[in-house]
Amino acid sequence: MKDKRARAIEPFVCKKVDSPIGGLVLVGNDDGLNAILWAKDNPRRVRRTIVAEDNRHPVLLETARQLDEYFSGTRHSFDMKLNFIGTAFQKRVWRALLQIPFGETRSYGQIARELGNPRATRAVGAANGKNPIAIIAPCHRLIGASGALTGFAGGLKAKATLLALEKAGRQMRARGRALTRRAATAPRPRRASPRLAPR
């Protein structure tokens, strides 16, 4: 198995897309989606060897399609092959992010406890800051223990926008379910008995 450094220098292609929170750079290869970076991302945060821009690569096209659905409010989960590159601990944190439901949040301490190491709060925060696949591995759903928004590579404004979008989507989905249940339990109107014509 290739180590982290060897895998990071594998050749990747990218596709640039616009979004409601600014420009995004999708990075991947035939092994799957490797990164979603911010247009003004710190190049030292996630180091990748991007050899070309490829607007037709199937992995990147599918990522762009699912992101469009997410931002339009019709997609609440993602379904694609992810190609994480990082340390074993970082990957554990990033996989934990994938388990946070749409429209919900967790604190760094909660993730540390889920990983079996309650004292690893800072390490969780550091791994979260290195998360290469923003939005899909939802690092924006991690907040401070007090509920305050904390550091985010895309900026706190983008983080607040993503959380607001998901909150609205979750509320809309709940209303839809309530209406469906109400319709299913509502009494059906009785059919009027046919009147016999007078002889």
Catalytic residue among 67, 97, 124, 139: 139
Q: Please tell me the distance from the alpha carbon of residue 20 to that of residue 23, in angstroms, as a whole number.
A: 8
The Cα 87–Cα 177 span in angstroms is 41
Identify the helix (H) or strand (E) that includes residue 28. Answer: strand 24-29
Place of tokens 């992010």: 97
Contact 30, 83 (CB under 8 A): no
Distance CA 44, CA 130 (A): 10
Reply yes or no on whether 14 is catalytic: no
Residues in the chain: 199
Reading the block at residue 2, the tokens are 């290739």
> Which residues belong to the active site?
139
